[in-house]
Amino acid sequence: GAVVSQHPSWVICKSGTSVKIECRSLDFQATTMFWYRQFPKQSLMLMATSNEGSKATYEQGVEKDKFLINHASLTLSTLTVTSAHPEDSSFYICSALKGRGKNMNTEAFFGQGTRLTVV
Amino acid sequence: DAKTTQPPSMDCAEGRAANLPCNHSTISGNEYVYWYRQIHSQGPQYIIHGLKNNETNEMASLIITEDRKSSTLILPHATLRDTAVYYCIVSTGGSNYKLTFGKGTLLTVNP
């Protein structure tokens, strides 16, 4: 397997503030990372695809100005929830793609998730 | 939308094999079948994936039908720690890789 580390594991913030979540691939380089959100008793919902050195691709209905994604290196992507509100409280999960390009045999490895609570 | 269909829940006795089915009747020729599981309040864990041949690793076996329209994940000797939601997902590999999660199957392993 491969290791993806997410930080922090949980965070509580005040409404109106911004929160940054880091996702690191520890033992492989990941040109592509994904960010998901999961509400209680629901499945994971893909928010955006993050590509190293280029702009992220957001899924329909996800506000790119609210959820800022930066993928500045081959091992780090960050998600910043700007001006957070209570409805942004959720479990945020990243994954990093191992293998790319012409190699069709790829697999993604997930971080442990970040529990965000906005009060 | 997810392109797979799984039963919402299954039960299995500890020590017995757990066979989790997945229907993916609209799978295209270049799409792989991936299996992940999620234990409560954790990130999903990769289990196995395959294209058309059966696959086996230290965690599980993946049996894909010849027409590739369905597959079965087999946990040969289920333990209590295998209780989780299991997701079957189809996706192309490479630069078009994208995992879209459905509702999965909640597998409960009973003592």
Tens-place pLDDT, residues A45-66: 999 998 888 889 999 999 999 9
Q: Which of A96-100, A114-118, B4-8, B18-22 has the lowest mean pLDDT?
A: A96-100
CA-atom Rg of chain B in angstroms: 13
Tokens 């690793």, residue located = B57
Which of B38, B93, B103 faces A106 most closely, judged by CB atoms?
Answer: B93
Beta bridge partners of B31: B92
**% of chain A beyond a pLDDT of 90:** 75
pLDDT, residue B100, reads 87
Residue of B42, B97, B102 lying closest to A43 (CB–CB):
B102
As given in the structure block, the two tokens for residue B40 are 């409560």
Q: Is there a contact between B46 and A111 (Cβ–Cβ < 8 Å)?
A: no
The count of other CB atoms within 10 Å of the CB of residue A94 is 31
The length of chain A in residues reads 119
What is the rounded distance in angstroms from the CA atom of residue A13 to the CA atom of residue A87?
12
Q: CA of B94 to nearest chain A CA: how many angstroms apart?
A: 4
Match 């922090």 to its residue by tokens. A8
Confidence of residue A2 (pLDDT cuts 50, 70, 90): confident
Residue A103, pLDDT above cutoff 70:
no
**B97 CA: distance to closest CA in chain A (Å):** 8
Check CB contact of A60 with chain B, cutoff 8 Å. no
**B63 shares contact with chain A (CB less than 8 Å):** no
Strands A4-7 and B18-23: what pairing? unpaired
Predicted confidence (pLDDT) at residue A1 exceeds the cutoff of 80: no
pLDDT of residue A98: 82
> Any chain B CB within 8 A of the CB of A26?
no
The pLDDT value recorded for residue B94 is: 65
Give 10-residue mean pLDDT values along chain B (111 residues): 87 97 92 93 92 93 96 97 96 77 95 95
What are the angstrom distances between the C-alpha of B48 and each of A48, A75, A95, B51, B89?
24, 23, 16, 11, 11
A44 inside 8 A of chain B by CB:
yes
Give the mean pLDDT of chain A.
Answer: 91
Residue A99 confidence (pLDDT) above 70: no
Say if residues B40 and A111 touch (Cβ distance below 8 Å): no
With tokens 């597959």, the residue in question is: B71
